Amino acid sequence: MGTTSRFPSGRTAKLLFLTVIVGLVALDTTGGDFDLSRARAWFDLVLPWIPLFAVLIGPRVGAVTWFAMFAVIIALGADPLQVSGTALPTMLLLGLCAFVLVWRAAVILTAGVLVMFAIAVLVNPAKLGLAGVITFATFMVLAAAAGFGLSLLRSRLERSARRVAELRAQQARVRAEERTRLAYELHDIVANQVTLIAMQARRAEFADPEKTGQILENIGRAAGQTLQDLRSLVLLLKSETDEDDRPGTGSDDEALTRPERDPAIQGEAASPTGGLVQELHQVVDELEQAGFTVQVGLAGPVDDASAGLRQTLGRTLHELGTNVLKHGDPNGIVELRMAFTGDEVTLSASNQISAATPIFSSGTGLEAMRARCDVFGGHLATFAEGGRWTTSVSFPTARPLALTPSEGTS
């Protein structure tokens, strides 16, 4: 717990507190213990309550004022009526200060109050007996303990509120990450096939009649594959939701619900490099079906690629192919390269920039590639030169790579 230098609430609480104190003072006037026709009686009536009025400025100010008030009573001879008149105001003061101040300050204040009362007994031992000392000390300790107990309860409630706020913020972050992951998954699954469908539809407008049938067949195949992938994604998401409610489920369910089309998963089980090479040829086939002429380059020891790296490279290859389909000129040559050199692997795609109106692009593909580079320590570079657009992505192969949530599903 910390300390405060002001009254621990707002203006309404201050007015309510002030009203209560004034009411208690007014109640004392009806007790018949004071002859209000004399100025000294008014002094004796108001003096014990002055520290509580000072508390409105701050608990420390109230505590200091109490010691000054009680010193005046001792200096005047520690009259029993005056000492007993301080009992209720002192209990309220100790309870409030114990609630506001740290426990060490509350203990010191309570001990100081007991010491001051002991001094008053020494000053006037005849009229302030042992029973009065014990009663006074008991009520003061109980008041301080009540204030400190309320302070502990407040601290516990504040910690609980902070914990709830942290959990809500964590849940919001998890939901945001899940939405981002889902966006990447939908983009990876849909963007490539839908772009291929759009490019094939454009070709059908100008193709020879004998080629139209083949183009329509490619469109149908791409649409069917997209539908299959979307169904697989829905099954995967449903499976993950069920696993959250069913502890102890194994990874077999995930394997059954992953999209079957992803060669980077299917091929790698049988061959370390077959899946990645198959991904490369699949991208080449899609580009050639859209009318592009593709020059492929593959260099270096592909066997050195880990499973996590192959998964990332497969995703990146499809992103590069999709970008070419969207923005490339089919009359130009596409250069697609994958090179393993030392402790680094580089993927690059270079294409002639199309003068036609490009297919709508949200930039999610480049964003996803940048995200993978951030996770795996890679580097993304894009530039235009001589009417050609080049995208180059490099990843390190020396250190082990771990799949992220967005990379762990297809």
Per the model's pLDDT, the better-predicted residue between 319 and 250 turns out to be 319
What does the pLDDT read at residue 402?
44
Phi–psi pair at 78, nearest 5 degrees: 55, 55
Give tens-digit pLDDT for 187-241.
666 666 677 777 677 666 666 676 677 777 777 777 777 777 777 767 766 766 6
For the chain, give the mean pLDDT.
77
**Prediction pTM value:** 0.45
In angstroms, rounded to a whole number, what is the distance separating the alpha carbons of residues 321 and 198?
14
In angstroms, rounded to a whole number, what is the distance separating the alpha carbons of residues 97 and 140?
12
Radius of gyration of the CA atoms of the chain, in A: 40
Give tens-digit pLDDT for 368-403.
788 878 877 888 999 898 889 999 999 988 654 444
Q: Which residues contact 306 (CB under 8 A, 6 or more apart)?
A: 397, 400, 401
The answer to whether residue 269 scores a pLDDT higher than 60 is no
What does the pLDDT read at residue 294?
92
The answer to whether residue 11 scores a pLDDT higher than 60 is yes
Choose the most confident range, by mean pLDDT, from 33-47, 203-217, 254-268, 286-300: 286-300
Q: Which residue shows structure tokens 């009065």? A: 132
Give tens-digit pLDDT for 57-85.
888 898 999 999 999 989 988 888 888 88
By C-alpha distance, which of 148, 85, 140, 88 is closest to 115? 140
Per the model's pLDDT, the better-predicted residue between 44 and 247 turns out to be 44
What does the pLDDT read at residue 407?
42
Q: Sketch out the chain's domains with CATH numbers.
A: 11-128 (no CATH), 168-396 (3.30.565.10)
Residue 349: band (very low, low, confident or very high) from pLDDT cuts 50, 70, 90:
very high
Q: Which two tokens stand for residue 281?
A: 């040829």
The answer to whether residue 160 scores a pLDDT higher than 80 is yes
Phi–psi pair at 310, nearest 5 degrees: -65, -40
Averaged pLDDT, 356-370: 69
Strand partners, 380: 393
Q: Which residue shows structure tokens 């829905």? A: 234
Residue 20: band (very low, low, confident or very high) from pLDDT cuts 50, 70, 90:
confident
The one-letter amino acid code at 319 reads E
